[in-house]
A and B are shown apart, each in its own frame.
Chain A
Amino acid sequence: MEADDTACVFGEDIAFGGVFRATVGLQERFGQARVFNTPLTEQGIVGFGIGLAALGTTAIAEIQFADYIYPAFDQLVNEAAKMRYRSGGLFDCGGLTVPGLKVVMPSSPAEAKGLLLACIREPDPCVFFEPKMLYRTMVEEVPAGDYVLPLGVARTLAEGSDVTLVGWGAQVLVLQQAARAAAALSPPVSCEVLDLRTIMPWDVGAVTRSVNKTGRLIVSHEAPLTGHFGAEIAARVAERCFLRLEAPPMRVCGADTPFPLVYEPLYLPGVDRVLEAIRASVSY
C-alpha cells in the first residue's frame, strides 16, 4: 500500500483487523478511505472490486471465510475471469479452476507475504486462499520489507528419489511429516515434497520433472477426491510421464462427502493415510 497509492483493502470487519486479525493496524496507517468495512454482501464486494480494478485501481477484497466465496462466485467466474477476454482487452481487473483467474494458496507465513504481494501486483485477477489452520498453528520468521514470490512456480521442500508428493496450503505440512515417516521405514522410502503454491497456473514442469525422476506420484488435498484438482494433476502426469511411471498416480484426498462435524479426522487426508499411500505406491 505504500508502494501503490491506488491500493485499497475492503471487506467484512477488516477495519478492526478482521476475524483472523490479518488487517490489524492497516486502517490506522492508511486511513479510512483506503481500508474500510463493507456491508455483508459478498457478491457486492467482489463486483465492487471488479469495478474498481477495471478502472485501474488495485482492489484487495477480503472474503471473511473461504466458505463465503460461493455467494461471490458468480461475479468471480462470470465477470472477473472473463472481463479482459470479453472486452477484447479493453478492460481487465487484475484479484478454481476458471480460465482467467489465478488461484494461490500459501503454506507458511513468509510464503503468504511474498505470494500475496505478487497477487496484488498481478495484472490478472487472483483468488488468494489463506489456510485458516495455519493462523493458529504456524509461527515463522517473516522477512521485513517488500518482496514477491513468483506465481506458477512450485517450491521443492525436500529432495527425494522414490516418490513425489505434491500438495499446497496446509496440506504441505502433512506431506512433510509423511515424508519424514517414510524415511524412517525399513527399508526407507525417499520422498520429494513439492509445494505447488499456485493452483492456477500450476507448475506442470516441476511436477513432471520430479515424477520422471522418482517414477511415482501422490497428490494430496483436503477437498474431496472426485472432481478436484488432484485429478487434473494425476491426469497430466499420466499423460506426460507415462513411460516413466512405476505405479499409477495416486490421490489422498478428503472423502466425497460434505465436510463432517464429528468425523473430521476420518474425513481428512492425514499423515497415516499419506504414508499408507506411499507404501502402496512403492510396493505396487
Chain B
Amino acid sequence: MLSSMTNRAPAQRAAVRTRGPQRAALRVCAVATTAKKDAAAAPAKGLITPEAAKEVYYDMVLGREFEEMCAQMYYRGKMFGFVHLYSGQEAVSSGVIKLLRPDDHVCSTYRDHVHALSKGVPAREIMAELFGKSTGCCRGQGGSMHIFSAKHGVLGGYAFIGEGIPIGVGAAFKSAYRRNVLGDESSDSVTVSFFGDGTCNVGQFYESLNMAALYKLPHIFVVENNKWAIGMSHGRATNPTLGDEDPYIYKKGPAFGMPGVHVDGMDVLKVREVAQEAIARARRGDGPTLIEAETYRFRGHSLADPDELRSKEEKAKYAARDPIPQLKDYMLANGLATEADIKEIHDKVMAEVEDSVKFADESPKPDKGQLLENVFADPRGFGIAPDGRYRYELPGFTTGTAQVS
C-alpha cells in the first residue's frame, strides 16, 4: 500500500519506508503495568497543575451527570433504541482525551457520549442528538450509538464492536502521510480508538494492531477493560496470557511490535501519565501504543439491561474506587482546589446539563425530507423528485407505493 502510493514520488520514498533505522531504534519489549505496582501509592505531588486538575475534574463530573440525566430522559421515553452509559469509566475518557488537541481524532463505540464530551462536543449537541433532534451533532440521524463531530475530531461512535478500530488506524495514517509523504513537518496529530475488553476477541482488533505497527502510525489503542462484555466476564471469554493466571490484553502489544501498558483506569492521574507518554510517542513518529485501562461500569450494559449477573461484592469493590471522589480528595489534599472550587464546578456542570436538556427538548424534529438526505451526495433524483419537491411530499409517499428513487 505504501509503495504503490509513493510510486509517483521516488525521491520521497525513503522517507516513508516502514523499516528505516528509526524503526529499529524503538525497542518494543516494554510491557509495563502501573496498575499493580503502585496501586497503593498516591500519585506524586505536582503531577498536574491546578488548572489541568480542575479541567479534568470538570470533565469527569460532566460525564457522570450527563449520563445520569440520560438515564432519566431515557426512562421518560425521550430517546430511541439502546442507550449505553459510561458511568464509572470517566477517568479513562478524561485522562486520555483531555490531553488531545482539537485536530486529534477519537474513535469510540456505542458507549460514546462521554468520549464526545471530553473531546469538546457541547453537551447540548449530544443531548439533542440523543433526542433525535435536528440540532443534534448529527442532525438527529445518528443517535446515541453514532456520535460524530467533524469540528471536534470525533470520528464516530461505532455500534458494531471493533469496527471503529481500523477506522482510527486509517485516520492516523493521514497524519503520518502528510508528514512523511507530503513533507509537512508540522503534521503530528494522533488518533485514539477506545473499545472494550470483549472487543479484543474480534479479529479486526488484531488486524489493526498489525497495520498500525507495520506503518508505524500515530495511533493509540485504549482498551477500557471493565471486566464484562454484556453477560460474559472477561476471564471466561479470554484465555490467560502465557504464564499468567488472568488474560492481559496489554501484553498483546509487544507481540505486534508496540509497547503495551497496563494502568489503573479508576485513577485519572495514572491514566493521564500513561496517555501522556503514548501521545508523545505517537507525535514523535515512534508509532502506536496499546493501553489497557482497568475500569468498571457502574450501571448495566445498557439501560435495557437489568444487570443481574455481576456480584454485589464486585460492584461494591469498584464503587469504592470511584474516580471522581478520588480526584476530588487528591485535589483538596494537595492544594489544587478548595471546597469552594469544587462546589463551583458541580454547580456549573449541573447548569450545563440542565441547559442541554432544555435545548434538546425545545429543538425541532428534523424535517421529514431528511429521511432521504445524505443517502447519496446529490439528493436530486433520489430524495428530490424531478419537479424539485422532496419525494416524501409526493402523493402516496407515506401511504402508498410512491418510490424514493
Interface residues of A (CB under 8 A from B): 12-13, 15-16, 19, 37, 39-41, 43-44, 67-68, 70-71, 225-226, 250-252, 255-258, 260-264, 266-267, 272-273, 275-277, 279-280
Q: How far is the CA of A16 from the CA of B229 in the complex (A)?
A: 13
Q: Provide the residues of chain A in CB contact with B366, threshold 8 Å.
A: 262-263
Stretch at the interface among B44-52, B140-148, B149-157, B287-295: B140-148
Q: How far is the CA of A275 from the CA of B403 in the complex (A)?
A: 16
Q: A13-B231, A261-B142, A266-B392 are in contact. Are A273 and B401 (CB under 8 A)?
A: yes
The smallest beta-carbon distance between B109 and chain A, in angstroms, is 12
Interface residues of B in 373-399 (CB under 8 A from A): 375, 382, 392, 396, 398-399
B237 and A39 form a contact (CB under 8 A): yes
Q: Provide the residues of chain B in CB contact with A257, threshold 8 Å.
A: 371-372, 375, 404
A261 and B141 form a contact (CB under 8 A): yes
The smallest beta-carbon distance between A165 and chain B, in angstroms, is 13
Q: How far is the CA of A39 from the CA of B231 in the complex (A)?
A: 11
Q: How far is the CA of A117 from the CA of B309 in the complex (A)?
A: 30
B237 and A13 form a contact (CB under 8 A): no
A266 and B398 form a contact (CB under 8 A): yes
* Residue B365 interfacial (CB < 8 Å): yes
Nearest CB in chain A to that of B81: its residue: A261
Nearest CB in chain A to that of B163: its residue: A71
* Residue B201 interfacial (CB < 8 Å): yes
A-B contacts at CB below 8 angstroms, number:
101
B203 and A258 form a contact (CB under 8 A): no
A280 and B141 form a contact (CB under 8 A): no
Q: Provide the residues of chain A in CB contact with B187, threshold 8 Å.
A: none
Q: A71-B160, A261-B140 are in contact. Are A40 and B229 (CB under 8 A)?
A: yes
Can you give 11 contacting A-B residue pairs, CB < 8 Å? Answer: A12-B229, A12-B232, A41-B202, A71-B160, A256-B375, A260-B141, A261-B80, A261-B132, A261-B143, A263-B368, A273-B399
B230 in complex: contacting residue of A19, A250, A256, CB < 8 Å: A19
Nearest CB in chain A to that of B196: its residue: A40
Q: Provide the residues of chain B in CB contact with A264, threshold 8 Å.
A: 80
Q: Provide the residues of chain A in CB contact with B396, threshold 8 Å.
A: 276, 280
A40 and B237 form a contact (CB under 8 A): yes
A250 and B143 form a contact (CB under 8 A): no
The smallest beta-carbon distance between A27 and chain B, in angstroms, is 12
The smallest beta-carbon distance between B144 and chain A, in angstroms, is 9
Q: How far is the CA of A264 from the CA of B201 in the complex (A)?
A: 33
Q: Mark B153-171, 1 if CB is under 8 A from A, else 0.
A: 0000001111000000000
A39 and B160 form a contact (CB under 8 A): no
Interface residues of B (CB under 8 A from A): 80-81, 132, 140-143, 159-162, 198-199, 201-203, 229-232, 236-238, 309, 365-366, 368, 370-372, 375, 382, 392, 396, 398-401, 403-405
Q: How far is the CA of A275 from the CA of B398 in the complex (A)?
A: 11
The smallest beta-carbon distance between A94 and chain B, in angstroms, is 26
Nearest CB in chain B to that of A257: its residue: B375
A44 in complex: contacting residue of B203, B229, B400, CB < 8 Å: B203
A262 and B401 form a contact (CB under 8 A): no
B236 in complex: contacting residue of A37, A40, A255, A267, CB < 8 Å: A37
Q: Provide the residues of chain B in CB contact with A273, threshold 8 Å.
A: 398-401
A255 and B371 form a contact (CB under 8 A): yes
Q: Provide the residues of chain A in CB contact with B237, threshold 8 Å.
A: 37, 39-40
Candidate in B81, B202, B401 with the most chain A CB atoms within 10 angstroms: B401
A277 and B81 form a contact (CB under 8 A): no
B365 and A262 form a contact (CB under 8 A): yes
Q: Provide the residues of chain B in CB contact with A262, threshold 8 Å.
A: 80, 132, 140-141, 365-366, 370
Q: Provide the residues of chain B in CB contact with A263, threshold 8 Å.
A: 366, 368, 370-371
A226 and B199 form a contact (CB under 8 A): no
B161 in complex: contacting residue of A40, A266, A272, A275, CB < 8 Å: A40
The smallest beta-carbon distance between A18 and chain B, in angstroms, is 9
Q: Provide the residues of chain B in CB contact with A276, threshold 8 Å.
A: 396, 399-401
The smallest beta-carbon distance between B175 and chain A, in angstroms, is 28
Not counting A40-B202, A226-B405, A256-B405, a sample of 8 additional A-B residue pairs whose C-beta atoms are within 8 angstroms of each other reads A37-B237, A40-B161, A225-B404, A257-B372, A260-B141, A261-B80, A262-B141, A262-B365
Q: Provide the residues of chain B in CB contact with A250, threshold 8 Å.
A: 401
B400 and A280 form a contact (CB under 8 A): yes
B160 and A40 form a contact (CB under 8 A): no
Q: How far is the CA of A225 from the CA of B132 in the complex (A)?
A: 25
The smallest beta-carbon distance between A73 and chain B, in angstroms, is 12
Q: Provide the residues of chain A in CB contact with B143, threshold 8 Å.
A: 261
Q: A39-B238, A40-B201 are in contact. Are A266 and B401 (CB under 8 A)?
A: no
